[in-house]
Each structure stands twice: as C-alpha cells, then as structure tokens.
Amino acid sequence: MAGMKELANRVKELEDQLVVCIRCGMCQSVCPLFDRTHKEADVARGKLALLDGLGKNLFNNPDGVSERLDRCLLCGSCAANCPSGVNVVEIFIKARAILAEFKGLSSTKKLIFRKMLANPATFDQLSEWAGKFQGLFTKKEKNSQGTSCARVVSPLLSNRHFMAMSDNPFRNTSHVINTSARKSGLKAAFFTGCLIDKIFPQIGRDLIEVFEHHGVGTYIPKGQGCCGIPALAAGDMKSFEKLVEYHIELFYAEKFDYLVTACATCTSTIKKLWPSIYKGRASKTREKIRELSKKTLDINQFLVNKVRLLGNYEGAWQSGELSEIVTYHDPCHLKKSLGVFREPRTLIRASGNSLVEMDGADRCCGMGGSFNIYHYGLSSEIGQIKRGNIADTNCSTVATGCPACMLQISDMLARSGLEIKVRHPLELYAESLRRTEYLKRA
C-alpha cells in the first residue's frame, strides 16, 4: 500500500492536471448523466471542481468524494467535447485509485479483483462453473437478442435481460493458434477480452474465419485474461498492473505486425490507459507497453485500413438482394476515445447490408461497466433513449463494435419486446463471406 507521502505526491500531480479546466461547462451538453439528472455534481466540471480540493476532501470526506466520482460512465463524451483538452477519464481513474489506496478496497472488491479477475485461470474456471449452473437461476427467452432473465426475484439481476455465459467459450476453440502471414502479408495477434471469450465466442470464431479468408497470419495465445479495466475503474491498481504485466509477457512471446481486438473497451484500454498509467516509470515493462499499444488496432480499423478488404472483396452481396437494414451504434470507447467511426460502417456496407443512420449514433448507450451494476435505473434511462433511436430506423439489426454495448442494447431491446438483432460488424462481414462462398458453390 502506498504511504501518505506518495499519496500526497499523486494528489499534487492530479491537481496539476486539473488547472487545465477553464470551467466553461461545455461538457454539460454531452454528458449522458447530466442529461438525465441536471445535477452539476454529475458532470465533469462539477467532479473536477470537487477534485480540485482533493488533498483536503480526501481526509474530510473520502466516502462522499468516492460516491460522486463513481457516478460516472467513464464514457469520455466530456473529454471529446472539451476545448481545453482536459483528460477527464484519466483524471477520474487516477483519483479513484488514490481514494481506493486511502480508504482500502472493500473485501468484496478484493475477492472479485485480486482473487478472481487478476488470475485468468481461476476466473475461467469460475465462469465455467457459473455457466454450468446458470440454468438453475436464469431462463432463456425466445427473442431476437437471445437474452435470458432471472427465474426468481434477485437484487443482483433485477429485471435485466442479459446474455448468458456461453457453454462453449472461445478459449475452447483450439490450442494456441499461430499461423504465418499469407496473401495479406500481415500477421496479427488477437486479444480476446472477457466478454468475447465468455459470452460472445462467435465473434472470435468469425475473426479466425475472416483472417483465414484474407490470408492474415494469426497468433492467439492460450491463457488470456481481462485487459484490466474493471479493476482500474474501481481503483484497484494492483490487480490492473498484474494483468497488464501478465499480458505483456504473453504477447511478447511471438512476433506480429498488429495486436487486434474486437472489443472497443479493450482496444481503448490497451492503447490509451496501459501507457498512460505506466507513464513516467522507468521500467522495461513501460517500453514494451508503449510498443504494444502502438501496434494495437480495433478489428474494423485493421480489416478496412490494413487488410484493405474492399480490394479483396468479391462483391456477391453488393447486389443488395439479400441485404438487411442495419443501423450502427458508435461505442464511446471507439469513437470518442480512438476516433474510429468510419471503418465499422465500411465493414457493414462491405457485408452487403444497407446502413441507416440513427439519431445520436454516438450518444452513450448507458452501460458504463460497473455504473450499470450500481446505478441500473439511470443506466436504463440512458439506454432507453438509445433503444428509441434504434427502433426509429426500422432496422432489423443494430451493429456495434463493443460487446459491452451489445449487452446493454440487448437488454433495452428485449425489455421493450423489439425483435431487432444485435451484432458485431465482424459477425455481419463473416456471415457475408460464408454466403458468398455458398453461392459460389451452388
């Protein structure tokens, strides 16, 4: 645990970053939380003002500061709209870590993050057991989203419609995959991420198929775990660092051109938060993180900009004959954090579907990781606005590049009884390749 002197230094560093905020309030108009509550304490400006006195508030009212800081989706909408370039998400995350160090983590969080999440093998084993027994407490629903709901009233699940654990997680797909670059001339490593491994394994299997089709060499090491964002967002720097250093060694075992993920949150965490947390530290790990984060790309970016799939695409679906109406939701961690928004749309069009834009495609869906757990009412209010915008397009499918957004949107659509499918753009593209192959053989 950090001593008081070190904590004081970290508070000072944070205060240096806070002076950049000019209190203009431009973050108000884009904050999904402020849009619902109209409380200054919920918007970035209000929270930054609170942190301005962190040195004092830390001792006087650490629980109050924590409570206010936790009421945030970490969506980065404020930072993307800030004229002064305040790195709001990084400041909030660092402040949460300081508070967690000062107050100590609760025993529940210690159990979840340090004993489970930070130990990939244990986490996999526990999720496998949870998958086996989930049917006792939850039941599958008959809807387009494929959600489940609780059999009995449960405070944890509430009235959620959630995606169940897969009975065939991605990690069971094969042993280590390690193939050489072929016609694309590229080799990419795949960082799977927890949600794709445990809930949406089809996305990972589609990635293997698409790489095979385009002749991309693939490296998928066994034993992967979480990118660390849940621990970091809760202020548990120890578990976060353990996961970062574990993955750095895992991926440094092989040479490849790009590290690709199909999860917007994993991409943003590896590309931005891994290096920013290690910034200023003199260590070999820091240099390795810097190199790896530079090579990290979202799957849509990789396929469109590096594989240049449109050049290879044979176009059997471009007749539009069998196309669906698809709308696209921009995950905050892709558009606001990384500026990626054209490429997923290109992938959807390349799969032969008609893309129809919804209003507020880049408005947050309300998920926000643990925000959805602790503030489900507010998360749902924000999510229902997204649900309405999706429904207004009359689409049959909504695509999005983040599995966490897929969970939230599935919940919102299922609660409203809307028969709209929720898919990753990669799934649509892989499906179009399969159909093209089928047509060619027919």
**Smallest distance from ligand SF4 to CB 234, Å:** 15
76 binds ligand SF4 (CB under 6 A): yes
404 binds ligand SF4 (CB under 6 A): no
**Smallest distance from ligand SF4 to CB 37, Å:** 10
Looking at 19, 24, 322, 373, which residue binds ligand SF4 (CB under 6 A)?
24
Helix (H) or strand (E) holding 218: strand 217-220
Q: For residue 115, give the 3-state DSSP assignment.
A: helix
Of 234, 267, 255, nearest in space to 117 by CA:
234
75 binds ligand SF4 (CB under 6 A): yes
86 binds ligand SF4 (CB under 6 A): yes
Burial of 173 (0-12, 13-18, 19+ CB in 10 A): middle
Interaxial angle between packed helices 88-103 and 4-18, expressed in degrees from 0 to 180 and rounded to the nearest 10: 160
Residue 91 or 303: the one with the smaller Cβ distance to ligand SF4 is 91
Looking at 7, 11, 43, 433, which residue binds ligand SF4 (CB under 6 A)?
43
Residue 186 or 367: the one with the smaller Cβ distance to ligand SF4 is 367
Alpha helices (H) along 201-283: 201-213, 229-233, 237-251, 264-268, 274-278
Residue 97 or 259: the one with the smaller Cβ distance to ligand SF4 is 97
88 binds ligand SF4 (CB under 6 A): yes
- Range in contact with ligand SF4 (rule: CB under 6 A) among 23-31, 107-115, 255-263, 349-357: 23-31
**Smallest distance from ligand SF4 to CB 368, Å:** 7
Which residues on neighbouring strands pair with residue 260, listed in sequence order? 190, 297
Distance CA 420, CA 129 (A): 30
Strand pairing category for 397-400 and 421-423: parallel
Residue 68 or 288: the one with the smaller Cβ distance to ligand SF4 is 68
Give the phi and the psi of residue 232 in degrees, each rounded to 5.
-60, -45
**Which one-letter DSSP state was computed for residue 29?**
G
Residue 92 or 251: the one with the smaller Cβ distance to ligand SF4 is 92
- Range in contact with ligand SF4 (rule: CB under 6 A) among 74-82, 103-111, 162-170, 428-436: 74-82
78 binds ligand SF4 (CB under 6 A): yes
CA distances to 31, 195, 369 from 363, in Å? 9, 22, 16
- Range in contact with ligand SF4 (rule: CB under 6 A) among 78-86, 171-179, 300-308, 410-418: 78-86
- Range in contact with ligand SF4 (rule: CB under 6 A) among 21-29, 159-167, 239-247, 267-275: 21-29
64 binds ligand SF4 (CB under 6 A): no
Side-chain-side CA neighbours of residue 1 (13 Å): 9
69 binds ligand SF4 (CB under 6 A): no
Contact 189, 220 (CB under 8 A): yes
Of 161, 156, 125, nearest in space to 140 by CA:
161
77 binds ligand SF4 (CB under 6 A): yes
Name, in order, each residue with C-beta under 8 angstroms of 85's C-beta and a sequence gap of 6 or more: 20, 79
- Range in contact with ligand SF4 (rule: CB under 6 A) among 25-33, 128-136, 205-213, 420-428: 25-33
91 binds ligand SF4 (CB under 6 A): no
Sheet holding 325-329, edge to edge: 354-355, 325-329, 397-400, 421-423
72 binds ligand SF4 (CB under 6 A): yes
Radius of gyration from C-alpha coordinates of the chain: 22
23 binds ligand SF4 (CB under 6 A): yes
45 binds ligand SF4 (CB under 6 A): yes
Looking at 7, 14, 44, 248, which residue binds ligand SF4 (CB under 6 A)?
44
Query: Please, what is the Cα angle at 318 between 316 and 321, to 5 degrees?
Result: 90
Distance CA 310, CA 354 (A): 16
- Range in contact with ligand SF4 (rule: CB under 6 A) among 20-28, 147-155, 174-182, 315-323: 20-28
29 binds ligand SF4 (CB under 6 A): no
Binding site for ligand SF4 (CB under 6 A): 21-27, 31-33, 43-45, 48, 72-78, 82, 84, 86, 88-89
